[in-house]
Amino acid sequence: MQPQQRPPGCPKDCYVVVNADQPTTAPVRVPHPALSLWQSCVRHVVATHVAEGDINNPDVARHRLVTDADDYVRQRRAYGYATVPRAVETVSGTENPFEIALAHAHNLVIKLGAFAEAVGHFSNLDPLFVECVFEFVKFYWLANRQPHYRDWKGLSKDVSFGVVADPIPSSARVAIIGDWGTGMPDAELLLEALLATEKPDVLIHLGDVYYSGTPAEFQHNFASVLNTAVLKLGKAPRVYAIPGNHDYYAGGGAFYDLIDTLNTETTRQTASYFCLRTEDEKVQFLGMDTGFNDRAPGVAFDRGYKAPMPHDSEIEWIKDKLANFKGKTILLSHHQAFSAHSAINGPDSGEPQDRNQQLLNSLDLDLGRVIAWLWGHEHNLVLFEDGQLGVAKGRLVGCSAFETTPGDDPYQINFPAIRVQPPRLQRSGNWFNHGCALVDLGKNQIAYLQMAAWTEGMPVPRPTLTEMTHEAFDVG
């Protein structure tokens, strides 16, 4: 097994090792909105024809169009670039929706004619492939509009907006999963085991429903999996979520549709960021939205890429919560504050590659009240050395479902200025284990748990969720 060659000028982290023996159902994920949208659309169309809409059916994963799409995405990821034309055209002369639709449809037919000539006679094209093209065009249009965002200032709200009305118990158990929305069987089992064995009062997802956060993916990879696990348990925890970059690739609408249906009116989050406090007001969980401003191709595709920031108004909102809450804060984000393994900024960005310095600077004076900052985005579990860059406990928990490529070592240190401490996820066969965190406010402790990962066929014996380590925190 050899790594593919990368072209001159491509960043060192812009390729992956392609394993010819890797099971075809293993997900292929890239931080590129157009490529991720293509994966979503191909799966959706194939699923409607072969699996009654179930995008997680193994027959969908093995379908030729799906494997071809994944192979293409894998190649583009390996070479660190993807050419996606962005033609901008306008329609004028009528206010009638039919006339507007007809004009766009006519223009599309002309363009598809040229496309058909490039690949063969139109009538000989695979009908499913043509349907994939139309599905992609629809979501690509949605993705290139300004996504919805609930700005507390824009909505003429005060800074109490986003604070969940009903507090959680002072001794609540809060489970945290990251990058979990794959819909794969091992993701389902991890959630079922987490709810059944740890019985959390609250479940928080740190973002990313793959591949691009379409309504079908939020339904099949998040909502229905959650509902199945809750039915087996017989008791539903409160559920909160912050969006990752993949959640905005299809426009972000499905994320908001999800959070508007979770919990009850007084326990529901109202925006893509939230503040959740305990009854004794000793601890608050602050979730921030870093996904909105990461809707462009990521660092592997753009040498000038810069790590995303929340909206300026949201930074103001977060700083208010940090400064005016008498207790301690557990901060949550999808994107990293820093990393020892993955480049956070591109080499031509003018920013340090190992940290989001702008985000750290924006919160600098208030970080003293943060007892832990948990994030995802990288598909790994890492406990960074305490106190680095002003962060008391920086913890990566992006390992709850996405299979790390067998040829990749997510613990390889590429940025030694960022120091890490044990433990490490174990491997089960080809794959590093999945993991999650459990914050126990009754014990003032965070436990880190792991479970075997797989792509085809549940291992024997049936995997269980086990503790890797735990650590204490002080709420004062």
User: Do residue 136 and residue 263 come from a single domain?
Assistant: no
Residue 179's CB is within 10 A of a number of other CB atoms, namely: 28
For 225-269, the DSSP string reads HHHHHHHHHT-PPEEEE---SGGGTT-SHHHHHHHTTSS-TTT--
In three-state form (DSSP H/G/I as H, E/B as E, the rest C), the secondary structure along 275-341 is EEEECCCCEEEEECCCCCCCCCCCCCCCCCCCCCCCCHHHHHHHHHHHHHCCCEEEEEECCCCECCC
Distance CA 297, CA 114 (A): 27
Residue 33 lies in a domain: no
| The amino acid at 307 | A
The whole-number pLDDT of residue 99 equals 53
Distance CA 344, CA 300 (A): 10
Residue 234 lies in a domain: yes
The whole-number pLDDT of residue 3 equals 35
Q: Which two tokens stand for residue 127?
A: 């009908």
Nearest CA to 26 out of 57, 55, 61, 64 is that of 61
The whole-number pLDDT of residue 125 equals 59
The whole-number pLDDT of residue 60 equals 92
Q: What is the pLDDT of residues 357-367, one digit of tens each?
A: 999 999 998 89
CA 466 to chain centre: 24
Distance CA 124, CA 39 (A): 23
Number of compact structural domains in the chain = 2
User: Do residue 338 and residue 460 come from a single domain?
Assistant: yes
The whole-number pLDDT of residue 304 equals 96
The whole-number pLDDT of residue 130 equals 72
The whole-number pLDDT of residue 133 equals 76
Q: What is the pLDDT of residues 293-326, one digit of tens each?
A: 999 889 989 999 999 999 999 999 999 999 999 9
Residue 207 lies in a domain: yes
Beta-strand ranges (E) seen in 256-344 are 274-277, 283-287, 328-333
The whole-number pLDDT of residue 97 equals 54
User: Do residue 227 and residue 330 come from a single domain?
Assistant: yes
Domain with 109, as residue range(s), is 97-143
Residue 261's CB is within 10 A of a number of other CB atoms, namely: 9
Residue 163 lies in a domain: no
CATH of the domain at 388: 3.60.21.10
The whole-number pLDDT of residue 242 equals 98
The predicted model scores a pTM of 0.85
Q: Which two tokens stand for residue 438?
A: 């459990």
Query: Cβ distance 40 to 139 under 8 Å?
Result: yes
User: Do residue 290 and residue 420 come from a single domain?
Assistant: yes
Distance CA 246, CA 242 (A): 11
User: Do residue 263 and residue 139 come from a single domain?
Assistant: no
Q: Is 435 helix (H, G, I), strand (E, B) or coil?
A: strand
Q: How many helices (H) and strands (E) does the chain have?
A: 11, 15
User: Do residue 323 and residue 210 come from a single domain?
Assistant: yes
Residue 37 lies in a domain: no
User: Do residue 136 and residue 212 come from a single domain?
Assistant: no
Distance CA 95, CA 320 (A): 45
User: Do residue 125 and residue 253 come from a single domain?
Assistant: no
Residue 201 lies in a domain: yes
Residue 253 lies in a domain: yes
User: Do residue 108 and residue 210 come from a single domain?
Assistant: no
Summary mean pLDDT of the chain: 87
Ranges of the chain whose pLDDT falls below 50: 1-24, 82-96, 121-123
User: Do residue 335 and residue 425 come from a single domain?
Assistant: yes
Residue 14 lies in a domain: no
User: Do residue 305 and residue 186 come from a single domain?
Assistant: yes
Residue 85's CB is within 10 A of a number of other CB atoms, namely: 5
The whole-number pLDDT of residue 115 equals 63
Please name the residues in contact with 193: beta carbons below 8 A apart, sequence gap of 6 or more.
451, 463, 464, 465
The whole-number pLDDT of residue 119 equals 54
User: Do residue 429 and residue 467 come from a single domain?
Assistant: yes
